[in-house]
């Protein structure tokens, strides 16, 4: 007998799936050559550390110019931009999340945890919806 899965459990599962999927995919980000992917990683069945050199690295094609010190998200990684074969996630450990998902984790776990939790449990909770919409608009004008 299968028990029904609540909407709240589905939402929690989606959030956990985001973290797990990102950590599993992290070492193979920006692999466009499936033969190189197969050669370097084979079938991925566990968390792995990224390998260098990275044959499909996009860093050498990219540039970044911070408008100010606050917006500089690269920090010590700046030296690798514009260099071929460097894996952007080269310093991450097996199972570690990328920056985007780390930021999502901060969003879910810190100041807005109570509101997010209420929204997961009670999506009809209007204050949560209004708060999320207004916060998103203010963060990303």
Summarised one tens digit per residue, pLDDT across range 5-37 is: 888 788 788 888 998 999 999 999 888 889 999
pLDDT above 50: residue 140: no
Alpha carbon of residue 10 to chain centroid: 19
pLDDT band for position 108 (cuts 50, 70, 90): confident
Contact between 57 and 28 under an 8 Å Cβ cutoff? The reply is: no
Give the lowest-confidence range in 1-15, 29-43, 86-100: 1-15
pTM of the model: 0.68
């Amino acid at each position: 007998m299968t028990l029904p899965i609540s909407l709240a459990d589905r939402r929690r599962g989606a959030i956990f799936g985001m973290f797990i999927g990102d950590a599993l995919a992290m070492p193979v980000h920006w692999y466009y050559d499936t033969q190189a992917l197969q050669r370097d990683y084979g079938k991925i069945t566990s968390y792995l550390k990224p390998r260098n050199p990275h044959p499909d690295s996009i860093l050498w094609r990219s540039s970044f110019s911070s408008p100010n010190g606050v917006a500089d998200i690269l920090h010590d990684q700046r030296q690798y931009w514009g260099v071929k074969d460097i894996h952007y996630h080269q310093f991450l450990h097996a199972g570690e999340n990328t920056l985007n998902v780390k930021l999502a984790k901060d969003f879910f776990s810190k100041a807005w945890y109570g509101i997010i939790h209420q929204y997961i449990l009670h999506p009809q909770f209007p204050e949560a919806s209004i708060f999320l919409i207004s916060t998103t608009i203010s963060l990303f004008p």
